[in-house]
Amino acid sequence: MCLVLFNYISFCLFCTELYSYTEEPEFSLNRDYFEEDFKNHGNGRRWMELSMEEQRAYVMRLLDALEVTDRDKRLKVARAILYLAQGVFDECDTETDVLYWSRHNVFLLYDMGIFTALLELLSMEIDNNQACSSAVRKPAISLADSTELRVLLSIMYLMVETIRVEMEGDSPERKAAREAFKTELGERDCERTVWPLVLQIYSVCVLPLLIAWKETVHMPRNRSLPQTPFVHSLCCGLALHSFTLFSFTPLVKQDSLDTYNERDPFKNDDVRDEEDDPEDMDSGIEGEVDPLDRDVIIQPPLPPPLLRPPTERLSFPKGLPWAPKVREKDIEHFLETSRNKFIGFTLGNDTDTLVGLPRPIHESVKTLKQHKYVSVAEVQIKREEDCQSESPLLIGQGEEEVEEIPAEILYLGMLPSLSQYVIALLKLLLAAAPTSKAKTDSINILADVLPEEMPITVLQSMKLGIDVNRHKEIIVKAIAAVLLLLLKHFKLNHIFQFEYVAQHLVFANCIPLILKFFNQNIMSYISAKNSICALDFPHCVVHEMPELTAESLEAGDSNQFCWRNLFSCINLLRILNKITKWKHSRTMMLVVFKSAPILKRALKVKQAMMQLYVLKLLKIQTKYLGRQWRKSNMKTMSAIYQKVRHRLNDDWAYGNGKYRAGGAGFSQGWGQICGVDECIEQALTERFVLNYK
């Protein structure tokens, strides 16, 4: 029962974000085209009353009709197929019925070969330069200019999202179809040079923002373990809304980050950072509560009465909630320093010979080795170094055979135009960021929202404004998830692929762009109410539409926080962590762009996962911020110590505070030259690309 409820909520969430509110009239249009074509086949019966063989015969008829040359007739047939994928909602009484019949129809459509036909039509739309040029010549692009593309992508999206989810009671035929579908998405036809679906979506620059939403896969850490098909996880990996709802802790006052404030000796200090603005007094881990949080803070319940004697009380281990890690390079550096100090010479990379070193050094090396952690990336780099040392003349000659898993296939397809893909994604992210200013040369991201006729009443204007803001939020959410999935899967496939993509992100000014995104009132963004529940699918097609008023639109929904925006913020922080970890020059970029006060304001969001990644970003730059900053932000330092994993020989908390790239003048000078807004917008507008040989 719980699984059915989970999948029902998941279905409602991904359908909700698939359609804009401007597309609401198209639901009835899909139904009308279906009923117009179906009345001759059904003989007065409804779709639900047909037998399986009769339904298969009708779908075969629709498949044949997709091959007509007339675009208008082909569009009508596609709309009829979309109505089937949407669950023949006009014949359903509840939203659960819509879920059931949508799932039934999607597996039927896939079994009859509809998905393959849709891929061919999508390729035709990609190659349709006439439609693209005619739309560009129009003074204003509206929803009608992307009708064919939206209908095709909506069907494919529903099929991908529905088939990938395993539900209780699935028949063996459906399980076999799911596995075949995953294989079909991840493979390419070498003879026809047909690349996977995701690459086709990238190439059309519509991006995978509409084709699929979420993925809750557990990625294997060992390269030898079975690999999750990358195209499946990327195609189905953009929103993660259900994962957000069921995996994130509520937005409440986190005991894990706040309980220590009660005994913090610096709690009553009035010292504050010189860079902080007045609204930065409370960072979310301070003792006080933000006004926006007062209504949602849930106090921990009183402990239940003891049911057993106190002597039988369970005892939990005390200490920090993580174990420290040590890299092989850290051990080598420690031994090199010790040998220079006590012996006067070094032994290179030898970490076993301890002759001549004092006994405390022996104990230190033993402790370091007990906590040594070897990552997959280090194993891959070591393997590459061994191959190069054994046969350096064969490097780059294509002698090594690489398994063509989906991640490898996608990387090979993206490699020739990787920089263009990265810049296109970041330009879309820039255009959708709340802090960006509208410019005439920026990307038009509102083409799928704006109606042909602009609103003439206040109510219509409010509805369109909510739809536009919601559309931007969904774009930010999708791009953040796509970039994170690219980095995660390429890092698992091979560390060099990850580094190559990360380098392109850095060259395209991804770091200042993410900081620009967080340089806003983050609590207002997290608590935004850009949604109209009455217009969400499938609610709007099953229930009677209530009367919308300006007051109801202004009030928004009943949710205290927008999980969509919280998910976007967490993903962007994770991307920033991935591309700056162990990279000194990129860490200095965080310092140069004055990210510390921006990140401290993000700590106001009382969500443990988001605060963790903020603290990680603050930790890596703490030693470069100076002694005065550390002295003025002792509560933040304490939170970093309590919540972030550390290295045994890490000097993050007591660095000398000097900029290794040239002192404080370096930061001040580049801070004036490379302003966040001017730098990132100019760089992304010019679409500069650094070509690699």
3-class secondary-structure state, position 655: coil
Q: What integer pLDDT is reported at residue 289 of this predicted model?
A: 37
Q: What integer pLDDT is reported at residue 318 of this predicted model?
A: 64
Return the amino acid letter for 339.
Answer: R
Global pTM reads: 0.79
| CB 447 within 8 Å of CB 267 | no
List of residues 6+ apart from 392 with CB closer than 8 A: none
Segment 128-174, tens digit of pLDDT? 766 666 666 666 778 888 888 889 989 998 998 899 888 888 899 99
Q: What integer pLDDT is reported at residue 136 of this predicted model?
A: 62
List of residues 6+ apart from 430 with CB closer than 8 A: 436, 442, 513, 516, 680, 681, 684
List of residues 6+ apart from 181 with CB closer than 8 A: 110, 115, 160, 163, 164
Q: What integer pLDDT is reported at residue 5 of this predicted model?
A: 44
3-class secondary-structure state, position 349: coil
Q: State which residues of the chain have pLDDT below 50.
A: 1-6, 8, 190-194, 204-312, 314, 398, 657, 659-693
The answer to whether the bond into 538 is cis (omega within 30° of 0) is yes
Q: What's phi and psi for 326, nearest 5 deg?
A: -135, 135
Q: What's phi and psi for 49, nearest 5 deg?
A: -90, -5
| CB 503 within 8 Å of CB 460 | no
Q: What integer pLDDT is reported at residue 42 of this predicted model?
A: 74
* Cα 509–chain centre separation: 18
| CB 151 within 8 Å of CB 85 | no
Q: What integer pLDDT is reported at residue 70 of this predicted model?
A: 86
